[in-house]
């Protein structure tokens, strides 16, 4: 169980590191710059979560495996870089995988600390999305999350689904992987069909 | 006393949430984007304070009332949004109320931790102003505090006033509300008459 | 020993405060704006370190000497401001001094917490560079560290040198000042000769 949990965290780190490194490469960052963006993208969400919650060490400070995953993700992204025209799709795929895995890790930690449902889901969403927010700020783009709010919505829905599933008799593996799969697929469907939430502004206001 | 303290925090949250949501609406953010900016504006200053000070939990993590205040502030702001031309003034009013209430909450927490006067006032200013700094960074404006330094100055003066008043025999309510009122009024007067501090640069330097 | 350590921290603060204030002056910030940038530049790196590591108070919260050093640095920078054409060089000098001193302080704290070598050096680099990153973000420039990656590289090399030297029989003073001197000189040589690391991009990719 704990091993599974650790594995989820490492897969999330790897996916977000690749997503961060690919973004840095699109912006023509060099060597260490790519590594720094990969690192910040991979650990940003979980780090903010661990800073906000009491009695938690920052999750990566004694976990060299996560560092190796980030370095591996950076190297993979650098090797893929020549396929410039193909970068957008894998970037979105890895970003979605990271969103799914990290949201569920975050909600689980909120539950283990006995937080109210609303805060469990909030912590999950922070864990899943904040690394990408930092990534976008550091490469000087407007954070995707503020313009594609469906991104946060999917994280919230998947986190809520996980919270409810923990009250069922389903096996632990299913309880985790059903909402993770939901988040990844929902994100990809939204991207594929360019869906968006209805605007609060009427036409006259625009 | 503790109830009063909690009330001050909730009024500050509500005012800053409205200020954040109105800013997001001015920048044409949608749905969750508005809620996120309201949330970050309302809790940013107090959260940085609680992270910087030892032995403190982040103040909102077990307080659902603050979450309700933020959601209420967001809804109020969305309903006011059609009065576009009237948004600037209430935005400044709520921003000033938030500055006043939160500065005093922050100084009070510094005193309760036995910090030196200079750090109590610094913590108060961080509590009062940092949510607004984050709000401005997230909507990609230069933070108001760096260009309207009179903003920080008023927070520092009001915080110092509160620190001194705690050594007097005044009633607790007066000790809190005199500096809060000072901050709100001073801010509004400064805005009304467009006052600014003298520049350090001579004309030749410009 | 502890006194020496405290002195290193104060010299680092002073140098980074001057660097921050000079940057703010170059960007025509006024009064408190200059002080805020000086403060954030001086304490940003160490503050992030203390937030990330367990069981640490933020280093400046009970240390008024550091506040005095920051105020002194700000005043010095304001008095130097008329020598506009000469600001760039001292800015780089003080920035390099701050990088050297703070990197070594950070690595030392990582060692005292029993972290793995890779994390000691990472914490040292964060301590040395993050104040400058915040400074650049706040004056709305792209952080120097992402474009001049040699900056981070020097911090990493100096931090690694210090880590290794702690296993030797050298005197404590030498163990600290050899890598500090290396970092300062390496940074200045890199600036003087405008050195940069080789790019990962081939000519066709650009």
Q: What is the ipTM of this complex?
A: 0.79
CA distance, residue B92 to nearest chain A CA (Å): 22
Q: Which position has the token pair 């990271």?
A: A98
Region of poorest pLDDT, from A102-111, B29-38, B120-129, C43-52: B29-38
Q: Which position has the token pair 């030196």?
A: B116
Considering only the beta carbons, identify the residue of A119, A137, A149 that sits closest to B30.
Answer: A149
Which tokens in the block code for residue B76? 């109020």
pLDDT tens, position by position, for chain C (206 residues)?
455 557 778 888 998 999 899 888 888 887 788 898 999 999 999 999 999 998 888 989 888 899 999 999 999 998 887 766 666 777 788 889 999 999 999 999 999 999 999 999 999 999 999 998 888 877 867 666 666 667 888 999 999 999 999 999 888 888 999 999 999 999 999 888 877 767 777 665 55
For CA atoms B101, B102, B107, B109, give the dihedral sign: positive
Among A178-187, B93-102, B172-181, C126-135, which range has the highest average pLDDT?
A: A178-187
Can you tell me the distance from the alpha carbon of A85 to that of A75, in angstroms, rounded to the nearest whole number?
Answer: 18
**In angstroms, what is the C-alpha Rg of chain A?**
17
Can you tell me the distance from the alpha carbon of B144 to that of B132, in angstroms, rounded to the nearest whole number?
Answer: 8
Average pLDDT along chain A = 85
Contacts of C37 in chain B (CB under 8 A): 146
Contact A61 C152 (CB under 8 A): no
A106: Cα within 13 Å, side-chain hemisphere: 39
In this structure, the number of other CB atoms found within 10 A of the CB of residue A123 comes to 27
Task: Work out the burial of residue B118: count CB atoms within 10 Å of its CB; fewer than 13 is exposed, 13-18 middle, 19 or more buried.
Answer: middle
Q: Which position has the token pair 């520049």?
A: B199
For CA atoms B42, B45, B51, B53, give the dihedral sign: negative
Average pLDDT (A15-31) is: 87
* Contact with chain A for residue B85, Cβ under 8 A: no
Three-state SS at C169: coil
Span B44-71, pLDDT tens digits: 999 999 999 988 889 898 888 999 999 9
Average pLDDT (A141-148) is: 64
* Contact with chain C for residue A61, Cβ under 8 A: yes
Can you tell me the distance from the alpha carbon of A39 to that of A45, in angstroms, rounded to the nearest whole number?
Answer: 11
Q: Please give the pLDDT value at position C185.
A: 95
Q: Please give the pLDDT value at position B173.
A: 84
Q: Please give the pLDDT value at position A1.
A: 45
Above 80 in pLDDT, residue A85?
no
Q: Please give the pLDDT value at position C165.
A: 96
Is the distance from CB of B13 to CB of B70 less than 8 angstroms? yes
Above 80 in pLDDT, residue A148?
no
Q: Please give the pLDDT value at position C137.
A: 79
Q: Which residues contact A206 (CB under 8 A, 6 or more apart)?
A: B28
Residue B106: which of B35, B56, B31, B174 has the closest Cα? B56
* Contact with chain A for residue B33, Cβ under 8 A: yes
Can you tell me the distance from the alpha carbon of C96 to that of C80, in angstroms, rounded to the nearest whole number?
Answer: 18
Contact A53 B61 (CB under 8 A): yes
Can you tell me the distance from the alpha carbon of B106 to that of A49, in angstroms, rounded to the nearest whole number?
Answer: 23
């Amino acid at each position: 169980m704990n091993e599974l949990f650790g594995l989820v965290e490492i897969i999330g780190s790897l996916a977000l590191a690749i997503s961060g490194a690919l973004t840095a490469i699109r912006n023509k960052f060099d060597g260490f710059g790519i590594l720094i963006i990969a690192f910040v993208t991979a650990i940003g969400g979980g780090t903010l979560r661990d800073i906000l919650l009491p009695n938690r060490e920052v999750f990566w400070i004694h976990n060299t495996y996560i560092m190796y995953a980030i370095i591996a993700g950076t190297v993979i992204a650098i090797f893929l870089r020549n396929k410039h025209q193909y970068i957008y799709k894998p970037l979105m795929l890895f970003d979605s995988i990271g969103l799914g895995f990290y949201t569920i890790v975050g909600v689980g930690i909120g539950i283990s600390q006995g937080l109210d449902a609303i805060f469990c889901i909030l912590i999950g969403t922070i864990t899943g999305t904040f690394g990408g927010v930092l990534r976008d700020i550091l490469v000087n783009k407007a954070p995707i999350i503020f313009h594609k709010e469906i991104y946060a919505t999917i994280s919230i829905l998947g986190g809520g689904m996980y919270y409810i599933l923990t009250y069922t008799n389903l096996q632990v593996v299913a309880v985790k992987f059903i909402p993770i799969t939901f988040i990844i697929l929902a994100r990809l469907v939204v991207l594929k069909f360019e869906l968006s939430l209805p605007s609060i502004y009427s036409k006259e206001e625009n």
